[in-house]
Amino acid sequence: DALPIDLELLPRFLPGAAPSDLAAPLTALEAAVDEVAFLLNEMFQGLAGMEGGRDPLTRALNRRFLSSILSREIGFANANHTPLSVLLLDVDHFKRINDTHGHPIGDEVLRQVAEAVTENVRPSDFVFRYGGEEFLVVLVETDLRQAAIIAERMRQALAAKAVTASGLAPFHVTVSIGVAEHGGHPDENYLVKQADEALYRAKQNGRNRVEVA
């Protein structure tokens, strides 16, 4: 409901103005205030929904948001004739980490990898936890060459990062990354498939490397 404004009290603050003179502008003001309240409520609900859609372990976006966000960004890219790229990243030999050190250490590795990935992209980009040890990054307004540079920077940062975990000496992990650029295909799954194929080549070619589609 619109916020009530007392037409009898207001003239005390606006000497010389009769209540009847203020009725129309105050009606418009009430409508504007109500609209602002509605928009703020929508914004806070959206933020709450986004927060609820984060992976509780890594704080990356949950995969269930991927289809809607990537489809929307593809639509923006098509409409504005801007590039869009995707990175698909996999932690190398993650099963070995779990088998050797246990799942709590594996979880800590994933947390720190997600943190490093997020630090190497912009606030306008999107980082998803795509699978067990896989992360997918949507890079807006980024072509294949730029995306490959970002992926290589990310790979180097992760290889240099010492993972710290309770009870263990610091150790290092590496990642393999597949890179693909949106080429106009309307199906977001096609773009992800291209990145996945590039990731597969990175693994086949020795891991700890970047391959482009």
Catalytic residue numbers? 133
Residue type, 6: D
Token output for 38? 């509605």
Q: For residue 149, which phi and psi values (nearest 5 degrees)?
A: -65, -45
- Strand 175-181 and strand 84-91: the pairing is antiparallel
The DSSP call for residue 5 is -
Token output for 48? 């709450």
Selection from 135, 121, 129 nearest residue 57 by Cα: 129
φ/ψ region of 59 (left if φ > 0, alpha if ψ in -120 to 50, else beta) reads: left
